[in-house]
Chain A
């Protein structure tokens, strides 16, 4: 199920503006990799290059290689739509489809994949909602609108929707930043469980969160506003938080904690 991601020499542009520069890194399968760094350093941009969501912004383009196991996501003849079915994504703001019920939301990806069998869909919905620790809260109201849930529940619904199609990799862009501490904890626990099955990449501004959930941490920085963001270092999370090899990382982390 889970696959390794190997990025080499990746640049991402918005029009003529280079947002991230020359990134190379490896993301291990069945692990959680956290991206940290100051605002505007290109974490989201880089994350979105990993499932070819970057290019949906008009004028945006990517240079470089992203290997998913042995397949170059930016190779010739690779269909971005197929890539996005393999690499799922959860966004910063919970975005369940407002016109769909809870069940329809979870089943949306399956439907796109052509799964019509009602029994299979029902099973997948239940499995995904259980996987997202949401089943007990919503099992009696699967036909109610997804937008009627609380923010934390909506975000778990989005996670359920993303894992329902059984992706190889799950990308999460600040999935807890709009949530209260309890919902955040629920999602962090969930990430711990999901990494048994998926390769997970999570962007976060919360250092404690990065330290709690991730196995490896990547620190990004930019030299000045208007300059491209770069990867400063990536290492085991304990190492980054106790003894980073680069001074800038230490400054950033200690600055955060005061």
Chain B
């Protein structure tokens, strides 16, 4: 073996240190220790001097918190009062009436069932389509694509997430709806027996909840993808290496270390998307031909969602009619609250396995 004739680096640091201490310019070490030790160890440190910055920050953050709570409470009170007012004037049953007659002049009769059904169904369709695709795309960007391509794709996804929903709506009405005709016919032929994909009038305009779901899926795909990608990139390298060293293939690395680690993040990302899908208004209103029929034939035209109904009816309603719309908004708010609560429960259930404390 051939020997490079070098001094081992271990010898160097001590001699350097000695130089530092001896040199007139470098008494840092000595004075530093003697000055800092008592200051850190002093008993007055426990209670501490009140610093003006701390005080300002504590005060302003507490203040903002209180303001936020007060505003929230005020909104809740307002919505509740108006909703109760509307429901007490309802000639029908708010839970079971399949109508929404809130125009002036006509007797008030409205019910939330069809709207809630349409909202939930279209959002569920959107999630079923979007979440797996988004996870796949995010994994591709974070773990499979070459770096250049990953960067470009990531950029495009971020851009797509920022496109206003009315643009999606127009694209949906002008492009997606005509193309859904063929899809619906195919679904009717092969999956008509499932009932939900059967059509009562084959060939009808596909301005249906299913088309809305597909459009919503496309709309929420970028946001779920963008957030999931960030989370996948944050999985510590050491867990991936742990799996690799056990002889895991790339997919097995993803399954054993990336996905479990990212689980709660994926749920949060999906909730972001779901929130958007539940509350989406313009895109739905552009694509759907609304009707107050509750039908499980999801590819039949018709149906309505809460947000879309508010947008369509708002101009024609006055007084108590508007309060009825507020009541429906409150229901939408409750649905969102329930869904988020559910997601939190799922995340909390396996908190100690989350890796957050690792």
Contact = CB atoms under 8 A, between A and B. Distances in A.
A84 B241 CA distance: 11
A65 B241 CA distance: 23
Interface residues of B, number: 36
Given A38-B8, A51-B245, A251-B7, A93 B238 contact: yes
A97 B239 contact: yes
B249 interface: yes
B246 A108 contact: yes
Contacts of B256: 97, 108, 111-112
Given A91-B242, A95-B238, A255-B10, A248 B4 contact: yes
A97 B11 contact: no
B353 A162 contact: no
B241 A98 contact: no
A164 B79 CA distance: 61
A182 interface: no
Contacts of A56: 241, 244
Contact of A99 (B246, B249, B354): B354
Nearest to A223: B4
Contact of B353 (A82, A91, A100): A100
Given A99-B261, A232-B3, A248-B8, A147 B246 contact: no
B147 interface: yes
A161 B248 CA distance: 13
Given A93-B238, A246-B1, A251-B11, A221 B6 contact: yes
B247 interface: yes
A255 B8 contact: yes
Contacts of B261: 98-99
A81 interface: yes
Contacts of A97: 239, 242-243, 256-257, 260
A226 interface: no
Interface residues of A, number: 48
Contacts of A95: 238-239, 241-242
Interface string A147-163: 11000000000100110
B3 A247 contact: yes
A253 to B, nearest CB: 9
B241 to A, nearest CB: 7
B333 to A, nearest CB: 33
Interface in B1-60: 1-11
A43 interface: no
Given A252-B8, A255-B11, A98 B355 contact: yes
Interface in A78-135: 81-85, 88-89, 91, 93, 95-101, 108-109, 111-113
* Residue of B6, B7, B9, B252 with highest tally of chain A CB at under 10 A: B9
A139 to B, nearest CB: 19
A24 to B, nearest CB: 9
Contact of A81 (B147, B238, B241, B248): B248
B358 A147 contact: yes
Contacts of A224: 6
B73 to A, nearest CB: 38
A39 B55 CA distance: 46
A38 B11 CA distance: 11
B58 to A, nearest CB: 33
A125 to B, nearest CB: 14
B104 to A, nearest CB: 58
B246 A165 contact: yes
Nearest to B7: A251
B357 interface: yes
A137 B7 CA distance: 46
A19 interface: no
A77 interface: no
A64 B246 CA distance: 24
B3 A162 contact: no
A188 interface: no
Contacts of B6: 221, 223-224, 248
15 contacts: A51-B245, A58-B147, A82-B247, A84-B245, A91-B241, A91-B245, A93-B238, A98-B355, A99-B260, A100-B260, A100-B353, A162-B246, A246-B1, A251-B11, A255-B10
Given A224-B6, A252-B10, A256-B10, 6 more contacts: A56-B244, A84-B247, A84-B248, A108-B256, A109-B246, A147-B352
Interface of B: 1-11, 147, 238-239, 241-249, 252, 256-257, 260-261, 263, 350, 352-355, 357-358
Closest 7 CB pairs of A and B: A98-B355, A85-B247, A99-B260, A98-B358, A89-B245, A252-B8, A255-B10
Interface of A: 38-39, 51, 53, 56, 58, 81-85, 88-89, 91, 93, 95-101, 108-109, 111-113, 145, 147-148, 158, 161-162, 165, 221, 223-224, 230-233, 246-248, 251-252, 255-256
